[in-house]
A and B are shown apart, each in its own frame.
Chain A
Amino acid sequence: MGLIAREIESRGIPTLSMSSAYSITAAVRPPRAVYLDFPLGHTAGKPHDTALQRRILRDALEALVTIDTPGTIRRLAYRWSKDDAWKDSVMRPHPDGASGDDRIERHPDPQYQCEDDRIAAEAAIERGGCRGCVFLS
């Protein structure tokens, strides 16, 4: 995502990157970023906590306006939980000896959230194509 931020910014459009992976963001150095110390999959907050989501978004927008040094990553103060125990198990081998490699195999076919989505997409294709799908050559 940092590469995309840089490309957009190079065309004169300001960007703000949100991040929950500090080291990855620091390595790619987007123009401006906020860092939220939450588990991956929660870059913009906790599910159904709309008040927290709004506060995080407002902090991100504030950073968009106030960061004036290129490459700044501003840390947001929110914490996922009172302790940081969730950090222990991230991408680490399971205590029962399993490898911790819980990634899903890289199939080249669409990975629908549910079977109904596949049916809906195939029906749309029959009617003339996927609306809003852009495949780059």
Chain B
Amino acid sequence: MSRPPVDYIERTAERYGALGYPPYQWVRNDDEPPFAPMAKPLAGSRIGLIASGGVYRVGQIAFHYRDDSSYRIIPRDCEMSELRATHFAYDLTSARSDPNVVFPLATLRAEAGDGGIGEVAPNAYTFMGGIYSARRVRERLAPALAERMEEDAVDAALLVPA
């Protein structure tokens, strides 16, 4: 018998409370989200990838842990062995052993190779989630990444938090 999902909002509140910190303000939207239907079949679609698990490529500057709202561009043909992961809020053991668990680039490439999707977009984008300022994400990072999706002419975007 499976048990209900871990409620990370509740557990964060418990832990912050126990430490005497003010509660974290999670983003809450009560309105209906925007919705754009798929315009063409997957097999003919270019799929973009954005992941927030703190993945960077060797030679790039790593993320830092204080409200880092920068992002990294990872070319689609990047070797998985060149990828690294850094983050303050999750256990990195699996991601460092196999980045596909939080950044499924090789998985997407395999799917494209088998014709399940048309192609992987030329670049994938990574950042480090856990940014405290929702305003900064809303006003700076989200528009910047959305512009990248437009420039890359993706037909759909896959978003992978850690």
Q: Chain A interface (Cβ within 8 Å of chain B)?
A: 1-24, 27-32, 35, 37, 39-48, 50, 53-54, 57-58, 60-61, 64-65, 68, 70-71, 79, 84, 87, 90-93, 99-101, 103-114, 116-118, 120-121, 123-125, 130-137
Q: Are B66 and A107 in contact (CB under 8 A)?
A: yes
Chain A neighbourhood of B14, CB < 8 A: 91
Q: Besides the contacts A6-B142, A16-B158, A42-B94, what 14 more A-B pairs have beta carbons closer than 8 Å?
A: A3-B134, A7-B146, A10-B34, A15-B156, A24-B9, A45-B104, A47-B95, A53-B104, A54-B107, A61-B42, A90-B11, A91-B11, A117-B62, A133-B72
A-B contact count (CB 8 A): 307
CA distance A28 to B9 in the complex (A): 12
Q: A31-B35, A136-B69 are in contact. Are A112 and B59 (CB under 8 A)?
A: no
Do B12 and A91 have beta carbons less than 8 Å apart? yes
* Closest CB in chain B relative to A45 CB, distance in Å: 6
B116 within 8 A of A: yes
**Footprint of A on B, CB under 8 Å?**
2-3, 5-12, 14-15, 18-19, 26-39, 41-42, 47-48, 50, 52-53, 56-67, 69-75, 84-86, 88-98, 100-104, 106-108, 110-111, 116-117, 129, 134, 137-138, 140-146, 149-150, 154-162
B161 touches A16 (CB 8 A): no
Question: Nearest 10 pairs between A and B by C-beta?
Answer: A132-B73, A47-B98, A7-B142, A22-B5, A110-B62, A113-B84, A70-B35, A91-B11, A41-B90, A44-B104
